[in-house]
Structure 1
Amino acid sequence: MAKTPEQALADFSPGLPFAVAFSGGADSTALLVACARRWPGQVRAVHIHHGLQLAADDFERHCKALCQKLDVPLSVRRLQAGHAQGQSPEDAARKARYKALAEAVQTEWPEVKDIALAQHADDQIETLLIALSRGSGLPGLASMPAHKQRLGLHWHRPWLKVPGLALRDWLQAQGHGWIEDPTNTDENFTRNRIRAKVLPALAEALPAFRDTFARSAAHAAQAQEVLNEVAEQDLLQIGVPPCIEALQQLSHARQALVLRHWLQSQHANTPSTAQLTELLNQVADCTTRGHRLHLKVGQGFVRRDGPSLVWHSS
């Protein structure tokens, strides 16, 4: 069920003190204002300055002015993220942004272990629709978790049940402004096309879509949690690095599950569907000692090393 900002924040229990990822847009401005009001003196803010964007300096000025008004300490980090071959610019920017946020907190406020992010209900629906358009499995359909541990920190998304319009209405009622990202209206970006064209159509055809889609994402997340537990148990059985003979004793589906889990948990790499399919085919063909295996998987390669599979980056 959709919530008001006040209701969402009442359910949010971060460790104190904590930081807010503060872009200067409406969503993160609402988050910072609401958190600073609820936990005075316990909130820090981190702003990532994207040097490639012309409006970046305006965002920084807005962030500094509001933090000064709210008496919230602010750290500004400059970022110009490149991307590796085969990696999308969006994925590279997202990972670089998380890393910069974590480094800012751990460097300036080592006592801070929690970071709040401002993604809201509409962002969650957009994430789910993008995952569906790409034919994603359960991890993609689970969309964004409300809480996750990463880079030694706890990351929270307290707004996931709050529609974006509710945040803007609330912020205006509090008498606070924000900076509009000029790229938000650029429909060359998939998210913007969904926001401008798909969400209004869904609201007309399926008025409760935010709640029902979010429920489906939650079901997918729960199912994926169970599969992760199965994959962890299987990985203990086949070993790290994976023993090919032990891997072959599993069903085809569990082979896929445990190999994906191995690559993600041990090497922070996610294989494409085509790469994983080919890897499974090659594993099935490993019936003699002389069978060689060397495949591009994720940002590196999987090869056969005697009785086992090993991953390397080059």
Structure 2
Amino acid sequence: MTQSFEAAIRSFAPSLPLGVALSGGADSTALLLACARRWPGQVRAFHVHHGLQAAADGFEQHCVALCRQLNVPLHVQRLDARSAAGQSPEDAARQARYGALQAMVLAGVAAPGIPCIALAQHADDQVETLLLALSRGSGVAGLAAMPAYRERAGVAWHRPLLRVSGVDVRRWLREQGMAWVEDPTNSDTRFTRNRIRADLLPAVEAAFPGFRETFARTAANAWQATELLGEIAQEDLALIGLPPALGLLRQLSRSRQANALRHWLRHQYQTTPSAAQLAELLDQIAACTTRGHRIHLKVGRGFVVRSALHLDWYDPGVCVS
């Protein structure tokens, strides 16, 4: 079952002091307010100013006023989150936001030793993320959507509201008499996520009233499968070596080759191959039985190449001295 906002906060047990990502919208405003009340003096707020729209200054002003009212230290990072060629604006902003939040935590701008940061995504956000993954033909990593807890690069990320509906978050916030700011792009149906929210979710709720809970179980099951695939990939790469040895890689089944290569590229180079790119790479590896066979394939934002008896990857946009 979905949780009430109050129940989600009661069951949230992070390490302290706690960082809270604050956009100024209803969800993050509610999360910060609840955390500041529960752990007075132990909460810090982090706001990322994306510089993408005129309303961004208003978001920051709201965050400043709110944190002053709650007596919560606020730390603001301004950045240019414009997308690169071929990159979606939403993805560019998301990556820039998470990078800025992580950098602020690791730099100790709020206080040294903040072990974790809380994010305000809720059950509706999780459903939207899952539907986006389905529309793109994603594998289990995409269907895992957003985990409730994850450690990455020395930072623990919590999402305590993933079983709380967006309606319940706003209901609680109104009961507290608190204001928030609305992002004007949230109603812009040029963005796929907004079309899902406005057009698809009402129809899904009419047909399947308990969809938030069942979709959350699907995402949780997919996350377990993703973790298992990661463990298998690590075991295989420990035998194959880094960079991967072609001869040892060919001894694996095609599915395990694909799993190991995805893991290698994602964790070593922060790039993800498309399904077509990965299929072509696997075909080339199967055909690569002679010393003269050349591999030079576009994969992710760079190229996978054959280097003697191994595979390698490089980004032509990055100069290596």
2:24 and 2:180 in contact (8 A); partners too: yes
Deviation at 1:58, TM superposition (A): 1.1
Q: Which residue of 1 aligns with 2:55?
A: 55
Contact 1:203 1:209 in 2 (8 A): yes
Deviation at 1:88, TM superposition (A): 2.8
Question: Is 2:208 the counterpart of 1:206?
Answer: yes
| Aligned-residue offset at 1:85 | 4.0
Match of 1:112 in 2: 114
Say whether 1:281 aligns with 2:283.
yes
Counterparts in 2 of 1:21-60, with a 5 A limit?
Answer: 21-60=21-60
Match of 1:257 among 256, 259, 273: 259
What stretches of structure 2 of length at least 5 have no aligned partner? 317-321
Provide the rounded CA distance (Å) in 1 between the counterparts of 2:290 and 2:27: 58
Tell me the residue number matched to 1:20: 20
Deviation at 1:150, TM superposition (A): 2.1
Measure the CA separation in 2 of the matches of 1:145 and 1:187: 26
For 2:88, the aligned partner's letter is: S
Letter of the 1:163 counterpart:
S
Q: Which amino acid aligns with 1:103?
A: A
- Please, what is the CA RMSD of the aligned residues? 1.1
Choose which of 233, 244, 265 in structure 1 pairs with 2:246.
244
**Aligned with 1:191 (options 182, 193, 211):** 193
Aligned-partner Cα distance in 2 for 1:150–1:87? 23
- The residue aligned with 1:159 is 161
Secondary structure of 1:309's aligned partner:
strand
Helix, strand or coil for the counterpart of 2:35?
helix
Q: Structure 1: any 5+ residue segments left out of the alignment?
A: none
Corresponding residue of 1:226: 228
- The residue that corresponds to 2:130 in the other structure is 128
Counterpart of 1:77 in structure 2 is 77
Task: Report the number of matched residues.
Answer: 314
Q: Does 1:176 align with 2:178?
A: yes
Q: Secondary structure at the match of 2:221?
A: helix
* 1:299 matches 2:308: no
Q: How far apart in 2 are the matches of 1:244 and 1:84?
A: 33
Matched residue, 1:266: 268
Task: Give the superposition deviation at 1:179.
Answer: 0.4
Output the CA distance in 1 between the equivalents of 2:260 and 2:54.
44
The residue number in structure 2 matching 1:64 is 64
Amino acid at match of 1:39: W
User: How far apart are 1:260 and its partner, in Å?
Assistant: 0.5
- Paired residue secondary structure (2:242): coil
- Greater mean alpha carbon deviation, residues 100-109 or residues 268-277: 100-109
The letter of the residue matching 2:54 is: L
Q: Give the direction of change, closer, same or farther, for the CA distance of 1:84–1:50 in structure 2 (3 Å limit).
A: closer
| Cα distance in 2, alignment partners of residues 190 and 7 from structure 1 | 31
Query: 2:78 is aligned with what amino acid?
Result: R
- What SS does structure 1 have at the residue aligned with 2:15? coil
Q: Kindly, what percent of the aligned residue pairs are identical?
A: 62
Q: Which amino acid aligns with 1:187?
A: T
Q: Give the AA of the match of 2:282.
A: L
Report the Cα offset of residue 218 of structure 1. Answer: 1.0
Q: TM-score, normalised by structure 1?
A: 0.98
Q: 1:35 is paired with a residue of what secondary structure?
A: helix
Deviation track 1:176-211 (CA, whole Å, cap 9, x = no partner) reads: 110011111111111111111111111111001111
In 2, the alpha carbon distance for the partners of 1:297 and 1:128 equals 24
Is the CA contact (8 Å cut-off) linking 2:105 and 2:155 kept in structure 1?
Answer: no
1:99, 1:151 within 8 Å by CA — same for their partners in 2? no
The secondary structure found in structure 2 opposite 1:310 is strand
